[in-house]
Amino acid sequence: MESQAINLDTLARQALVEHQTLEHVMEALRITLDWPVPRRDLAAKLSSVRFMAQSFQRHLERLMAIEETDGYMLSARDRQPHLSTRFEELRAEHDCFRQVFRQLVPSLEAVTSQDATLFDNLCHELRDLLGQVRDHSQAETALIQEAFFLEVGGES
């Protein structure tokens, strides 16, 4: 039983660390999106936004995979069945994020620095996605704490 408690503690802490790392990647993308460049110099910003959006996608995909298959979701749901609905709602949001990325990243790859209006629209979509993921991440973090840390007697 003690080894299971340590494993659950490790899973929960890994999820929290991964969420913190995601926040750093998201902040780097925000900085890149907010980079003021003249329209004639849009190519450099486009390249940086593409790179950061791909980094954001890769880390978010990693985090979602950890949560869904290796991480806390199944363990927490088994341990705290009364939280199942909230876990399922968060899990469903993962599929929504995947769908947005399936459309957004190829659009970023296809846009040219001459199409400033489309690029601005894609940047706006990325900003919206950042807000949605931030809200989702905060909800997951709160649920992790409720499912694991509060039950085992608080933080260590």
What are 84-117's pLDDT values in tens digits?
898 889 999 999 999 999 999 999 999 999 999 9
- In the prediction, which pLDDT does 83 show? 87
Residue 156 lies in a domain: no
Local structure of 132: helix, strand or coil: helix
| Cα separations in angstroms, 61 against 4, 119, 151 | 26, 24, 28
Other Cβ atoms less than 10 A from the Cβ of 85: the count is 10
Query: Is the C-alpha dihedral spanning 37, 43, 46, 52 positive or negative?
Result: negative
End-to-end, the C-alpha distance of the chain in Å comes to 18
Question: Is the model's pTM score more than 0.75?
Answer: yes
How do residues 10-38 score in pLDDT, each as one tens digit? 776 777 788 889 999 999 999 999 999 99
Task: Determine the average pLDDT of the residues in 38-49.
Answer: 93
Q: What are the Cα distances from residue 65, in Å, to 15, 51, 68, 101?
A: 11, 21, 5, 15
pLDDT band at 74 (very low <50, low <70, confident <90, very high): confident
Q: Residues 116-138: pLDDT tens digits?
A: 999 999 999 999 999 999 999 88
CATH code for position 23: 1.20.120
Q: How many domains does the chain have?
A: 1
In this structure, is residue 155 part of a structural domain?
no
Q: If pLDDT is split at 50, 70 and 90, which confidence band does 51 have?
A: very high
6: containing domain: 2-149
pLDDT at 5 over 70: no
| Domain-embedded: residue 27 | yes
CA 102 and chain centroid, separation: 15
- pLDDT at 6 > cutoff 60: no
The pLDDT, as a whole number, for residue 144 is 76
**Residue 7, in any domain of the structure:** yes
